[in-house]
Structure 1
Amino acid sequence: MSKTLTLYTRAGCPLCDEMARAAVALLTGSGHRIAPCDVDADPALKARYGWDVPLLFDGGHELCRHELNLAAVREWLRLNP
């Protein structure tokens, strides 16, 4: 069953762009996908995360913050084939 990870970002954030590229590359061929979410488009998300992006989540579980945690994403992929 494919799943969608949420990538909290903001426009013009180089770290966000870098994490998006790396996460998409890791998920390629897995059937899973990344759903980007601009924190600036939602006042509640902006208040919650502020400048603390990028963040990669599976539902309410945080996988990565600021940079891709390769081990965490590989473990997530192992548990979600």
Structure 2
Amino acid sequence: MSARVTLYSRPGCHLCDEARAVIERVCTEVGTTYDEIDIDRDPELTERFGEEIPVTFVDGRQHDYWRVDEIRLRAALGG
């Protein structure tokens, strides 16, 4: 089963660290998983997301960028 949440991030990004903490907490509470992808490892992702990171996708659709709204994420995951 693939993860329902995908976090696109890059090392050294404080907003990414904050987003990761929210995603980890919500995913644990609702019993789902998440994947994290470093955009710096893929030139296409770097070009696509640039400075809009972190970017969060839920079930393959873009959900948030820059900040993760915990209430919206929980609602999107049915929690």
Give TM-score, length-normalised by structure 2: 0.86
| Residue number in structure 2 paired with 1:44 | 44
Superposed CA offset, 1:21-69 (max 9, x none)? 1110011142311111011100100011111100110243111111111
Root mean square deviation, CA, Å = 1.9
Structure 2: gaps spanning 5 or more residues: none
CA–CA separation in structure 1 for the residues paired with 2:55 and 2:25: 16
Please tell me the residue identity of whatever aligns with 1:16. C
List 4+ stretches of structure 1 deviating above 6 A.
none
Quick one: structure 1 residues 77 and 71, their matched pair in 2 at CA, closer, same or farther if it must change by over 3 Å?
same
Identical residues among aligned pairs (%): 33
Q: How many matched pairs?
A: 79
Give TM-score, length-normalised by structure 1: 0.84
CA–CA separation in structure 2 for the residues paired with 1:69 and 1:6: 15
Please tell me the residue identity of whatever aligns with 2:64. C
Q: Does the 8 Å contact 2:4/2:60 carry over to 1?
A: no
Structure 1: gaps spanning 5 or more residues: none
CA–CA separation in structure 1 for the residues paired with 2:77 and 2:23: 11
| Residue number in structure 2 paired with 1:25 | 25
CA–CA separation in structure 2 for the residues paired with 1:40 and 1:73: 25
Quick one: structure 1 residues 30 and 42, their matched pair in 2 at CA, closer, same or farther if it must change by over 3 Å?
same
Q: How does 1:38-77 map to 2 (within 5 A)?
A: 38-77=38-77
Q: Does the 8 Å contact 2:56/2:62 carry over to 1?
A: yes
